[in-house]
A and B are shown apart, each in its own frame.
Chain A
Amino acid sequence: MLTAVKNQGKISILSIKYALMKEMLNKTTFLTNVIFMILNNASFIIQWIVLYSIQDNIGGYTFQQVLLLWGVAAGSYGVSHFFFENAYELAETITDGKLDAYIVQPKNILLSAITSKVKTSALGDLLYAYIMCVVVARSFSSILLFTFLIICGGIILTGIAVILGSLSFWFKRADMVAEAGNGWMTNFANYPDGIFKGVVKVLLYTLIPVGIVNYIPVQLLTHFRLSNLGIVVGFASVIILLAFIVFYRGLKRYSSSNLMSMRI
């Protein structure tokens, strides 16, 4: 069992490595993607400077905490999109019959499918996340905790993308639902939860778990509580399990018309 997990891990790392090497073929494009993504994220600092010129505290967050929130959001997004970019294209992969290429491989189908592509610009998100973390947290232990939290966040985001993408096994147009759902996770992630009230706040900790990916990690980085860490880790574990169950249940329904294509 342990050897199988180890082998699968090696295969997934190799898959990501080759996908990255493909992206790095054109160095200028690679660097532009990374640097411009950092600038792209940094431009939102202006928005918060303007908002904090109106009020000192927004939704219970200080300016520093909002920077940390952006760091956590960019980091989780970066982990998910860099390592598992194809999870966001799973719906199209299933609908277009492109899953055939992964089914014939002797390793885990889901992991092979979602690690076959990297998003270069997500490296920019990851770098930006660490810049924010260093600017605000400034301690080695915080950086370690931050790393752990963004990995958990990235896994949750990927799990949600897989569950939403797998709906394509059952429904037509599930790609649109997946796109909308993944978009919601990103849109809510960058605003303090204190500005939301009532049902929306409940949704942000349940159906649209932005609270667990972003808000609780920010709380953990400012005031560490073991119970909060347990919530994040527990939720990530449940989502992974659910993602595998939904994908493999759906896979039983999968059929294609022997699509012939070439993957370079």
Chain B
Amino acid sequence: MRKYVFIFKSEVMSSLQYIWNILFGFLGYLVILFIFFQLWQYLYSDPSQVIHGYTMEEMVWYVIVTEVLWSSLGGRKLCMKISNDVKSGNIAYNLCKPYSYIGYALSSHLGSILLKFIIYVILGMSLGLLFLGSFPSISILSILVVLLSSILATIISTLLITFIGLFAFKIEDANPFYWLYSKFILVLGTIFPVEFFPQVIRPILQYSPIFAVTYGPAKLFVHFTLENAIEVLCIQGIYLVISYLLCLWLYKKGVKNLNVNGG
């Protein structure tokens, strides 16, 4: 475990060198939030209106939390890195190193996004306060649970994207699969809560990765109840195990067929 903590720490230190990149990246996030704020302001012509159980304030906070989780993740870069590691044969260097590639990918990616995550949380909350003028009424304990759930969501997302990146063992470029996955999360899990979709598909969405990576933590932030918290954490626990096992399975299957020509 200590070696993974070391990789994590090294990546955190390295990300400190790119603070400007993070702040410029935030400009993109700011625009997305601004667009959604305008959109919801337009749709909620009466600010006291409730649509599918959400007020305008709750909708804006929901989008802020899901966007913090998704935008700070840097999924495209991670998928590209894993896919390139496989394509270029770099992955072969890891075979002789005393760590698991999945553990390395996870700890290095989490280390590289920690600072970004913290900055996005602070700036996202400040923006919400600026747009709406107040925070949702939420206790300190609830904030801690939401934070724990957000960390779990980030770990699960990282593992699921690593799994997609490892598709490169089968098809040279795994990025198109990532586009589809990211749009699945973005359209069905970031912009609207599950309640906005037709009754027929809600159960499917509720137990899809969307629940673990975006909807769960955001729902807890806007509508916190103890039952919801237990349900979200339990489902995240299950997804954590499943996504790790999927990565491990695909990696083991992939390296068996690995051919590296020269170097």
Contact = CB atoms under 8 A, between A and B. Distances in A.
Q: Main secondary structure on chain B at its contact with chain A?
A: helix
B179 A40 contact: yes
A224 interface: no
Interface in A148-163: none
Interface in B14-45: 20-21, 24, 27-28, 31-32, 34-35, 38-39, 41-43
B180 A59 contact: no
B35 A187 contact: yes
B35 A188 contact: yes
Nearest to B31: A187
Contacts of A179: 24
A33 B24 contact: no
Interface in B179-196: 179-180, 183-184, 187-188, 191-192, 196
B96 interface: no
A29 interface: yes
A200 B31 CA distance: 11
A43 B186 CA distance: 10
Given A28-B171, A177-B24, A184 B187 contact: no
A26 B176 contact: no
Interface string B32-69: 10110011011100000001000000000000000000
Interface in B147-183: 171-173, 175-177, 179-180, 183
Contacts of B28: 180, 183-184, 187
A5 to B, nearest CB: 37
B43 to A, nearest CB: 6
Interface string A175-205: 0110110011001100100111100100000
Contacts of A37: 176, 179
A195 B39 contact: yes
A44 interface: yes
Contact of B188 (A35, A46, A191): A46
Given A32-B176, A54-B43, A196-B38, A40 B183 contact: yes
Interface string A23-65: 0001011001101110110011011001100110011000000
B99 interface: no
B197 interface: yes
A133 B51 CA distance: 32
A189 to B, nearest CB: 10
B179 A36 contact: yes
Nearest to B27: A180
A195 B42 contact: yes
Contacts of B187: 43-44, 46-47
A184 B180 contact: no
Contacts of A40: 176, 179-180, 183
B123 to A, nearest CB: 15
Given A32-B176, A180-B27, A191-B35, A43 B43 contact: no
B31 A183 contact: yes
A58 B171 contact: no
B157 to A, nearest CB: 18
Contacts of A26: 172-173
Contact of B171 (A29, A55, A121): A29
A46 B196 CA distance: 11
A46 B38 CA distance: 20
7 contacts: A43-B187, A46-B187, A54-B43, A173-B20, A176-B20, A179-B24, A195-B42
Given A50-B197, A176-B20, A194-B42, 15 more contacts: A36-B176, A39-B180, A43-B180, A43-B187, A47-B187, A54-B51, A59-B42, A121-B179, A176-B24, A180-B24, A183-B31, A184-B27, A187-B31, A191-B35, A200-B34
Listed from nearest, the 8 A-B pairs whose CB atoms lie closest are A36-B176, A176-B24, A43-B183, A40-B179, A195-B42, A29-B173, A180-B27, A183-B28
